Amino acid sequence: MEASANDSSADRPGRPEKLQRKSATADDALSSTRVFSAALVRAPETVARLEAFEAWTYSRRVIARVGSSSQLESEMPSTRRSSKSTRRAGENGRNGNGKDAIALLRADHRQVEKWFSEFKKAAAASRKEKLARQICSALRVHAKIEEEIFYPAFYAATGDKELHHEAEVEHAGARKLITEIESTGARDDYYDAKVTVLSEMIKHHVKEEEQPGGMFAEARKSEMDLKEVGSQLEARRAQLEGTM
């Protein structure tokens, strides 16, 4: 019976042992590359992505020694696309197409900042009053969902009493000024001053939450389920909008 070509090649007398080792190592490297591509596509979790990346790193080191890099590179385009998609999903939040809790709260901050800027430029009293109402309503809803959902989840996950309590106190101070603004109008001599002071208070509060080492950064490092918290924030905001 004739031996197969592969068998005869593998068992060929006199073949240098070093070449046999290189061939086997190259096969292992290419196999690791395929493992990397498949794992990265399938695994949304960080640990799996790190394991896949380690396989890729190993394969690159081996290929540098034994060659066959062209075959290795031919498998990488789809892997790179998968990696980008995975990172994009993480940036948008772990709840699919929705935003995670921090992305949602940051979006609220940017919207209110825009309205404060428009208020500063507005000349007509009616325009100022409309913007002030929008600002106050949005801040009431934003503060409510933070206090009911995000802050308790943050405190439970981090135990950071200082950050939690300071945020609550800043909310209370802003709420008092919001009530004063809502109870008056642009004809009040202090109306513009009150909105301006509120703007400064919110600017400080936002900085405290978004800066490195702030509440959002600490939440990212904690075990908070930002996907779930984000879903709860969205649901509660939908209930509150139009009522505050």
What domains sit in the chain, N to C, each tagged with a CATH number?
15-91 (no CATH), 101-240 (1.20.120)
For the chain, report the end-to-end CA distance as a whole number of angstroms: 88
Q: What is the pLDDT of residue 99?
A: 81
Q: What is the pLDDT of residue 207?
A: 97
Q: Alpha carbon of 98 to those of 92, 129, 235: distances in Å? A: 7, 32, 12
Q: What is the pLDDT of residue 159?
A: 96
- Quick check: 134 pLDDT over 80? yes
pTM: 0.60
- For residue 5, count other CB atoms closer than 10 A to its CB: 8
Question: Which of 74-78, 148-152, 155-159 is the least confident region?
Answer: 74-78
Left if phi > 0, otherwise alpha if psi is -120 to 50, otherwise beta: which for 87?
Answer: alpha
- Quick check: 174 pLDDT over 90? yes
